[in-house]
């Protein structure tokens, strides 16, 4: 194998592909990037067996070949190198690859690319096209709410629902839930699947800089996301997602409307003085005033703040975990939010009162905590 490439361009592609690498792999071959050169097309691949990502780029190719190169060593070497053309040349007799730059030569051992795991062949697939911006927003709005309980793997990812009426993305950890819907983007095929956290995290960081359309190819076991020069393929989480619609209260006559940043700031300040185990913040709403309070009896810490608000409904006192509350408020962009409630022991619904795009819908649910007497 022999080719010439810009070190800066190559590093950029390697950093995208490196998102799938693990620190501790069960197979030694997974510590490598797979380089496949065919003519002037170089494909770089990395895998952790569950997820595989590949990127293609144009190079000045001379001799075709397939080799697996140590990922961390190559990344560190290119990061330390000023941007310039570099030449990669493999030597089969010594199983080394030489990188030549303007100022030096660097040599590292490679292993046969034949040992690298192959991508699963996907059969009986369906395809849906989504704007990269929409998919990135959907992941940003939902992923933080996914759980990390190993005993409930189906709740550790994001639930995708595709229909001819729109796309729905849901994440929950049983304490909080986010449902993000788009009615301006539809699918010809009705499908439901659960995407794992890791490939979504990679997509989230990669899509933010690209405005391309993403082709989503999926079946019962795998999903593939293709955009620009990148293909990300992952194994789906097996299992049935909980009936999330059943936990969303339909009748919520008590509605608090308040400026989001003021509410968020007050919640953050008051939470500093809350119990470090429960993180409980109490909301007491009467008339047009909201009182936020928190107390840590063990250390005699206490705080309360009052905010003006718009409220319709009966006077109410309800407790929430401050971390969940502030997390949700931080993941909205609206100037005003509505907090809809039915009773102190039922979930609260947070809805943006403005700033939504046409065809966009978002609902956030947070479970209450028992108020300390």
What is the dotted CATH code of the domain comprising 249-369? Answer: 3.10.150.10
Are 126-245 and 249-369 in the same CATH fold? yes
Does the CA dihedral 99-105-108-110 come out positive or negative? positive
pTM for this one? 0.93
Sheet with 301-308, side-by-side order of all strands? 301-308, 289-296, 280-286, 316-321, 368-369
Q: Where are the domains of the chain?
A: 2-115, 126-245, 249-369
Structure tokens at 236: 């789906």
Q: Under CATH, what is the fold of the domain 126-245?
A: DNA Polymerase III; Chain A, domain 2 (3.10.150)
Centre a 10 Å sphere on the Cβ of residue 92 and count the other Cβ atoms it contains.
Answer: 11
Which of 176, 223, 177, 173 is CA-nearest to residue 202? 223
Rounded distance, CA 226 to CA 224, Å?
A: 6
In sequence order, the 6+-apart residues with CB closer than 8 A to the CB of 74 are: 14, 33, 108
* CB of 14 closer than 8 Å to CB of 7: no
Q: Under CATH, which architecture does the 2-115 domain have?
A: Roll (3.10)
Rounded distance, CA 155 to CA 169, Å?
A: 13
pLDDT in tens, the chain (373 residues): 999 999 999 999 999 999 999 999 889 999 999 999 999 999 999 999 999 999 999 999 999 999 999 999 999 999 999 999 999 999 999 999 999 998 899 999 999 999 899 887 899 999 999 999 999 999 999 999 999 988 899 999 999 999 999 999 999 999 999 999 999 999 998 999 999 999 999 999 888 665 679 999 999 999 999 998 999 999 999 999 999 999 999 999 999 999 999 999 999 999 999 999 999 999 999 999 999 999 999 999 999 999 999 999 999 999 999 999 999 999 999 999 999 999 999 999 999 999 888 999 999 999 999 886 5
Rounded distance, CA 197 to CA 278, Å?
A: 26
* CB of 17 closer than 8 Å to CB of 46: yes
């Amino acid at each position: 194998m022999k080719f010439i490439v810009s070190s800066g361009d190559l590093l950029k592609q390697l950093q995208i592909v490196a998102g799938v690498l693990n620190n501790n792999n069960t197979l030694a071959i997974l510590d490598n990037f797979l380089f496949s050169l065919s003519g002037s097309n170089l494909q770089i691949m990395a895998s952790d067996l569950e997820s595989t990502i590949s990127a293609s780029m144009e190079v000045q190719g001379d001799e075709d070949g397939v080799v697996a190169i140590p990922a961390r060593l190559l990344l560190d070497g290119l990061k330390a190198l000023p941007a310039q053309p570099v030449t990669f040349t493999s030597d089969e007799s010594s199983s080394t690859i030489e990188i030549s730059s303007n100022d030096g030569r660097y040599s590292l051992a490679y292993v046969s690319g034949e040992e690298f795991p192959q991508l699963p062949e996907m059969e009986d697939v369906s395809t849906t096209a989504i704007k990269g911006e929409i998919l990135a927003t959907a992941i940003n709005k939902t992923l933080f709410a996914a759980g990390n309980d190993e005993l409930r793997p189906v709740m550790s990812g994001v639930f995708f629902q595709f229909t001819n009426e729109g796309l729905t993305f849901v994440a929950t950890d049983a304490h909080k839930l986010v449902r993000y819907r788009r009615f301006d983007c539809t699918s010809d095929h009705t499908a439901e699947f659960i995407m794992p956290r890791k490939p979504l995290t990679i997509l989230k960081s990669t899509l933010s800089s690209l405005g391309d359309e993403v082709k989503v190819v999926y079946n019962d076991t795998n999903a593939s996301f293709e955009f620009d020069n990148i293909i990300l393929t992952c194994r789906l989480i097996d299992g049935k997602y909980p009936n999330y619609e059943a936990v969303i209260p339909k009748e919520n006559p008590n509605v608090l409307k308040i400026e989001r940043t003021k509410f968020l700031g007050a919640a953050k300040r008051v939470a500093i003085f809350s119990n470090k185990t429960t993180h409980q913040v109490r909301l007491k709403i009467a008339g047009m005033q909201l009182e936020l309070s928190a107390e840590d009896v063990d250390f005699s810490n206490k705080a309360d703040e009052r905010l003006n608000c718009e409220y319709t409904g009966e006077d109410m006192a309800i407790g929430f975990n401050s971390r969940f509350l502030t997390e949700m408020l931080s993941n909205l962009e609206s100037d005003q939010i509505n907090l809809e409630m039915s009773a102190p022991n039922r979930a609260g619904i947070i809805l943006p009162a403005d700033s939504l795009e046409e065809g966009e819908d978002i609902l956030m649910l947070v479970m209450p905590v028992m108020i300390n007497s």
